[in-house]
Structures are given as C-alpha cells and as structure tokens.
Structure 1
Amino acid sequence: MDDDSLYANWEQRTEIPLFLASLLFLGAYALQVLAVDMPSTWRDLCAYTMITLWALFAADYVVRWRLSGQGLPRFIRTHFLHSVVVVLPLLRPLRIVPLYDVVQRRQDKPRLSLHARVIAYASLSTVLLGFAGSLAIYQHERGAPGSTIRTFGDSLWCTAATLSTVGYGDVAPVTGGGRIIATGMMMGGLALLGAVTGSFSSWLLQTFARGSDERPPES
C-alpha cells in the first residue's frame, strides 16, 4: 500500500473522532473561561482534558506527516491548516471540509453542490471561529485596566463586529493578546465573507444564465 492510500485510510478512520475531540476541547476551554466559580477539582479536570486532547492532536499530526512521505518543511507548507491547529487547537473544529468528505464517503450519498458546500462551510466556520475567538478575547480582557469588555456578551458583540469587519468601536480589546486575536479574526472574517459572497454571486449568475438559456427566443 502506498503512502497516499495509507494517509487516506488514516484520515478516513480518524477525522470524525478527532472532530468530536476538538469540540470536547472547545467545551473544556469554555468551562475554564466562563465558569469562574467552578471548583478547583473540575478546573483541574478541564486542564488535564485539554492537555490530553492537545497531545492527541499532536500525535495525529506526527502520524500524518510520517504517512505522507514528505519532509517536515514541505508537509507544513502543504498542510498549512493542519499545522496551525496543532499550535492553536481551538481552531481545529474549522477542519470541516475533510470531515464532510469522510461522512459523504461513508454514507455514499449525493454531495451538495459546490456553492452550497462553500456557503455551509464558511457559515459554520464563522460560528465556530466567533465562539472560540470570543472566549479567547474575554479571557484576556476581563479585569484588564481600561477594558470595555467586562462580560462574555461584550466579547460576543466585539467578535461579531470584528468578523463582519463593521468595527463599531464601542467595545474593543486593549490588551496585546486581545488585539492579536482580534487581528486574526479580522483576517478570517474577510476570507470567510469573501468566500460566501463570491460563491453566492456565482450561484446567482449561473441561475440567471440558465434561465436565459432556457427561455424561448423572441419572434
């Protein structure tokens, strides 16, 4: 069996369990950030869970690298998102495209159209990115001197304004970490918004063009 088939087989077997593990990681992180009065035993359990899951993601990355047959620098370049989510495991739920492909291959059902897949992926990615970013910003900003983000609701509002590139400015991060996270969400918001609007516009153009082709010629 060649490297490509070994890699594909590994992805087929692990993509769904790892996606569920990434949601568990996100849930444990959310509990740590939001449940301020949580007993220390539960807080420690959340921390150990996150460390264990991160080690699992790192092990999966190493296995994929070895199965790819590529050198590490090339593997990092050709699997950029995979490399990013090892460093920032909160972003691992964004690997929805491989998950969708694995589910479709297992169920052997007709795939969604390209436009529908792009819109669905971008929309779900925006929700997951927004939630993870809100948690991270809130963790950095709460209690910081001069911060206008005092509640998780403020953080959600800041994230919505950032991802949509509206930028009302009524709430904004003041810490270095919060601003770095907000900058990353700005870039992510631009990319996801561009994907949705571009795909939707293309779908409209194809729909109108199809309608024009099917219309009988005027006498």
Structure 2
Amino acid sequence: MKRQSAQARWEQRTQRPLLALAVAFAVAYAVPIVDDSAGYSLTELCTVVEWVVWGSFAVDYLIRLALTTGRKEFVRTHWPDLCAVLLPVLQPLRLLRLVSTLLLVGRRARMAPQIRLTTYVVGAVIGLLMFGSLAVLSVERESPHGNIRTLGDAVWWSFTTMTTVGYGDHAPTTGLGRMIAVGLMLSGIALLGVVTANIAAWFISRFEKDDVEERRQTEAIAALTEEVRLLRAEVARLAAPEAAARAGTGAGGSLSAD
C-alpha cells in the first residue's frame, strides 16, 4: 500500500474540523444580517467568529505549505487558496471574508474523495444562493432607493439572477450590490452549467449501461445458441454408429429371410 504524505494526512485529519468551522462562519455571517436588531455584543461576537474561521483556514494553508515537498509548485497550483487567504488582509470587509471562506471551503471539499462532484456542486449552488442573498441584503437594506428589504426579497432576487431569468422586480441600486450581482451571475451560470452537464452525463451513462446490458444478453443468447448447435451435432455424431448398426442388422435379417 502506498504511504500517504504528511500533507495528505494533514488534509484528511483537518477536513471535518474545517468544514465545521465553515458552518460556524455561515451562522456568524448570517445572524447580524437576518436579525437587524442584534445588539452590539452579539455583532462583535459574530465578527470574532468570522475572523477566527478565516484565521484557521490561513493557518491550515501555511501548515500545508510547510508540509509539502515542492513549495513553489504548491503555491503555483494552489493560487486560489493564497488569494483567498490574502483578500481579507488587503481589505478587511465582511464580504471579502465571505468570498475567501467560500473559496477555501470549496478547495478543501474537492479534496475529499468521498464527496461526489454532483453533491459538491449542488451544495455550492445552495451556498451561493444563500450567501448571495445575505450579502446583497446587507448592502441594499439601508439604501434609500433600494427595493431589497427582506430576506425573502433577497432570496428571490438571487434565485432569478442565478438562473438568468431576471424578472426585474428586485434589483440592486448600490455599487457594491451590483458587484455582487455580477459575481452571482457569472458564478450561477458556471455552476448551473456544471449541474446540467452532470445530469446529461448521468443519463448518458444510464443509456450506455443499458446498451452494455443488452449487448451482454445478446452475446449470451448467441453463445447459448452455439452451444445447443454443437450439442446437437455431438448427439448426432454419437447416434450415427448406433443408427448404422441398426440399419445393418435390419438389412441382414431381411437377407436371411429370403
């Protein structure tokens, strides 16, 4: 059995704890937005949780970098992880912490062999829908000309935006809200395209499986038919001497009678 590297063992051990931290981040990010009457202490606690989660992912990146044998190759191939770690440092906005955490969670989830691609993509679509709704609500709710005031409005807007339907009944009016809309449009098109491709691939695999099964049945019937033909030929070959002997006996009896 091939021995796992130190980096692979670390990633396997920290996968579930980091996913649990990501869930904690989601709760901490959502609470102050959904409950706009949250007090100062609760808001500060949620902010601390967000930074702790981001810091955990940053430490995880540094440890993986230290454990790998080819560090330059690791940085080159894991550049989204590095960008996600640096984003909140360059501009400490809650939205950037959201983007960076989503990126890091997605990278770690793809490393998990037991998580199938379809499950990951569906989870990413749901996560993008909810976090996009929370993000646009946080920046549009206080806008004097905004019409996204409730969580229901935000979810409806995110869903119509991701599916490129765009009824136009709700739309962001601030610059940051429109930036969120652009990101949601591009991400939604990409993710929904992957979902569509996976569904098509599933149907194709089912058809191919049916074709293979039908081909196997046809080959089995042909093989059985060939075996029956050979068996009949063998029976005829074995029965030929006996038939000849009977024919000879019958002919001899006729001559004696004469």
Mapped partners of 1:21, 1:45: distance in 2: 15
Does the 8 Å contact 2:139/2:177 carry over to 1?
Answer: yes
Normalising to structure 2: TM-score of the pair?
0.70
Written as runs of structure 1 = structure 2, the 5 A alignment for 1:29-108 is 29-71=29-71, 74-86=73-85, 87=87, 88-91=99-102, 92-94=104-106, 95-98=108-111, 100-101=112-113, 104=114
What corresponds to 1:7 in structure 2?
A: 7
Do structure 1's residue 146 and structure 2's residue 145 form an aligned pair? yes
Label 1:180 to 1:31 Cα distance change in 2 as closer, same or farther (>3 A): same
User: Following TM superposition, by how much is the alpha carbon of 1:176 offset from its aligned partner in structure 2, in angstroms?
Assistant: 1.5
Mapped partners of 1:169, 1:76: distance in 2: 42
User: Following TM superposition, by how much is the alpha carbon of 1:30 offset from its aligned partner in structure 2, in angstroms?
Assistant: 0.6
Mapped partners of 2:78, 2:127: distance in 1: 20
Does the 8 Å contact 2:54/2:101 carry over to 1?
Answer: no
Tell me, which stretches of 5 or more residues in structure 1 are unaligned? 105-111
RCO comparison, higher one (Cα < 8 Å, 6+): 1
What corresponds to 2:192 in structure 1?
A: 193
Written as runs of structure 1 = structure 2, the 5 A alignment for 1:156-171 is 156-171=155-170
Structure whose CA Rg is larger: 2
User: Following TM superposition, by how much is the alpha carbon of 1:89 offset from its aligned partner in structure 2, in angstroms?
Assistant: 3.5
Q: How many residues align?
A: 201
Mapped partners of 1:160, 1:77: distance in 2: 35
Mapped partners of 1:204, 1:166: distance in 2: 26
Mapped partners of 1:132, 1:37: distance in 2: 20
Between the two proteins, what is the percent identity of the paired residues?
Answer: 37
Label 1:40 to 1:148 Cα distance change in 2 as closer, same or farther (>3 A): same
| Structure 2 residue identity aligned to 1:12 | Q
What corresponds to 2:224 in structure 1?
A: none
| Structure 2 residue identity aligned to 1:188 | S
User: Following TM superposition, by how much is the alpha carbon of 1:122 offset from its aligned partner in structure 2, in angstroms?
Assistant: 1.0
Mapped partners of 1:204, 1:38: distance in 2: 48
**1:46-99 per-position Cα deviation (integer Å, ceiling 9, x unaligned):** 112222222222111111222234456x5444124423543334414434322x
**1:144-192 per-position Cα deviation (integer Å, ceiling 9, x unaligned):** 1321211111111111112222222221112121121221121211221
Mapped partners of 2:140, 2:15: distance in 1: 34
Does the 8 Å contact 1:23/1:93 carry over to 2?
Answer: no
What corresponds to 1:129 in structure 2?
A: 128
Provide the secondary structure at the position in 1 that maps to 2:53: helix
Tell me, which stretches of 5 or more residues in structure 2 are unaligned? 88-98, 219-258
Label 1:58 to 1:13 Cα distance change in 2 as closer, same or farther (>3 A): same
Label 1:175 to 1:132 Cα distance change in 2 as closer, same or farther (>3 A): same
Normalising to structure 1: TM-score of the pair?
0.81
What corresponds to 2:239 in structure 1?
A: none
Mapped partners of 1:96, 1:141: distance in 2: 31
More displaced stretch, 77-86 vs 155-164: 77-86
**Superposed CA RMSD:** 2.4
Mapped partners of 1:155, 1:120: distance in 2: 24
